[in-house]
Amino acid sequence: MSRTYDSLIRGELVLPDRILADGWVAVSAGRIAGIGEGEPPAAHAVADHRGDLVLPGLVDGHMHTGSAVGFPGIEGATMSAAAGGVTTCVDMPYDVPRAVTDAGIFREKVEWVERLAHVDVALYATIRKHGGLAAIPALAEAGACSFKLSTYEYDENRFPRIDHITMVEAFREIAKTGLMVSVHNEDQEMVEFLTAQAKAEGRTDPIMHCRTRPPLAESMADGEIFEIGLETGAHVHMAHSSIARGFRMAEDFRRAGGKATGEACLQYLCMTEEDLVRLEGFGKCNPPFRTAEEVERIWEELLAGRIAYVSTDHAPWPREKKVYKGDIFAVGAGLTGMQSFAPVMYTLLVGRGLSPQLMALYCAERPARFHGLFPKKGAIRVGADADLCVLERGDFTFDAAEIRDREDARWSPYDGREVKARVAATYLRGACIWDGQEVLAKPGTGGFVPRQNHDTYIG
């Protein structure tokens, strides 16, 4: 007797090794039970997306749901994710009023995720500025997918700089867990000196955000963290590199025997210093946008396979915190990016004549692998969760007013940008959570995804 599946999703499937023009995904109990092409098997329900691209649900490996409003920010941010084809968010630990520095706080955040999330969420952990090393094993045991530290201090409690000696010891402890330690990579001393100098000269216009955080501030921090990684055996990861030099440095340290990697963010594949001048505060992020020539060099690194994955560094600050009022240094640093992730990334690939398979690889499979979520997440493959992002191709304009988040977070550096696709549907474990118009998921539809394995290094 032939099997009848719970549901089928039809369309142009983007698989790890090929694209099926008339493909189908069969779903049973929320997981992919079959993949094929042509005449589909029987199912209780069929979603027909023929003519549209069907990719794995995107895995955004870098986002901040709680930096502005704390754990309640999970609700709006994951609603935006659902509308953007992002089915798994990897959330940073720098929440207000407390960072996720021990297993108790971690479990509390998991409870909030289970109650509020519209998509699935994996969680980073971090350490306190002083005396937090003992908490590392329990955080790993609680299901943290990765750790995050910083060479630059935004807040001594919530987002501290970890000094060299503490970082060495932290890396040693994290290495024992097998997990990746991601690091915000900017040199504090250089940035503080250049910022003070700019303010003294009355230079607080937008371009000075770039000038006071030069490429050297990144590469100095990169060398520091990779050297410590080489010494301790930790898998050290640049949380975001806006410069090609960072990825070349990581490769050099891998050749020396280190576990060194780094991610690019979507903005570093398309935004330039001129965009910061145009966008003012709404284009401010750390590290800042670079030159058009540097954007091209980042693409070279991606196509050469030296970039771990592409993320958004989504940080939905209240609009008021992003308004430039004559002092770029007073503006909050961070961009919204999840709902624009799929349309903009696809458009960039189309503009360069590149395959959407690169999007499936760098925006779904590889972040899932680095955060220990594969094979449950990250690819259209039998046994994986039936998480899918459906793209309707055409000529569209990204409209920030359509962002599904709290009202004061409906802004975007990509507002008004012409794109070549829109997210027509999103499926989480086989259920449609976005139909192209409305988020169908309710708070709690998503849930916490613990790390599936310990060895997250991909050399």
Task: Give the percent of the chain with pLDDT over 70.
Answer: 99
The confidence score (pLDDT) of residue 396 equals 98
The confidence score (pLDDT) of residue 459 equals 67
The confidence score (pLDDT) of residue 1 equals 44
Average pLDDT of 47-54?
98
Please tell me the chain's helix, strand, coil percentages from 3-state DSSP, rounded to the nearest 5: 35, 25, 40
The confidence score (pLDDT) of residue 455 equals 67
Mean pLDDT estimate for the chain: 97
Domain ranges of the chain: 56-369
At 3, is the pLDDT very low, low, confident or very high (cuts 50, 70, 90)? Answer: confident
The DSSP element (H or E) to which 217 belongs, if any, is helix 215-232
Instruction: Summarize pLDDT for 199-231 with one digit per residue, the tens.
Output: 999 999 999 999 999 999 999 999 999 999 999
The confidence score (pLDDT) of residue 19 equals 97
HSE-CB of 411 using CA atoms within 13 angstroms: 19
In the structure encoding, which two tokens stand for residue 132, read together?
A: 């937090």
Contact 103, 145 (CB under 8 A): no
In the structure encoding, which two tokens stand for residue 103, read together?
A: 């297993």
pLDDT at 419 over 60: yes
**CATH fold of the domain at 56-369:** TIM Barrel (3.20.20)
The residue with tokens 């306190």 is: 128
Instruction: Summarize pLDDT for 345-358 with one digit per residue, the tens.
Output: 999 999 999 999 99
Cα torsion 109, 115, 121, 122: sign: positive
pLDDT at 454 over 80: no
Instruction: Summarize pLDDT for 23-34 with one digit per residue, the tens.
Output: 999 999 999 999
Distances (CA, A) of 439 to 38, 96, 423, 445: 30, 26, 12, 11
Instruction: Summarize pLDDT for 157-173 with one digit per residue, the tens.
Output: 899 999 999 999 999 99
Q: For residues 348 and 298, what is the distance between their CA atoms, to the nearest angstrom?
A: 13
pLDDT at 2 over 80: no
The residue with tokens 């983007």 is: 14
The residues near 242 (Cβ < 8 Å, ≥ 6 apart) are 215, 218, 265, 268, 287, 288, 289, 290, 294, 298
This prediction has a pTM of: 0.97
What DSSP character marks residue 328?
A: G
Instruction: Summarize pLDDT for 267-308 with one digit per residue, the tens.
Output: 999 999 999 999 999 999 999 999 999 999 999 999 999 999
Angle, helices 73-83/103-116, rounded to nearest 10 degrees: 50
Instruction: Summarize pLDDT for 309-342 with one digit per residue, the tens.
Output: 999 999 999 999 999 999 999 999 999 999 999 9
The confidence score (pLDDT) of residue 173 equals 98
Q: For residues 55 and 303, what is the distance between their CA atoms, to the nearest angstrom?
A: 20
Contact 433, 445 (CB under 8 A): yes
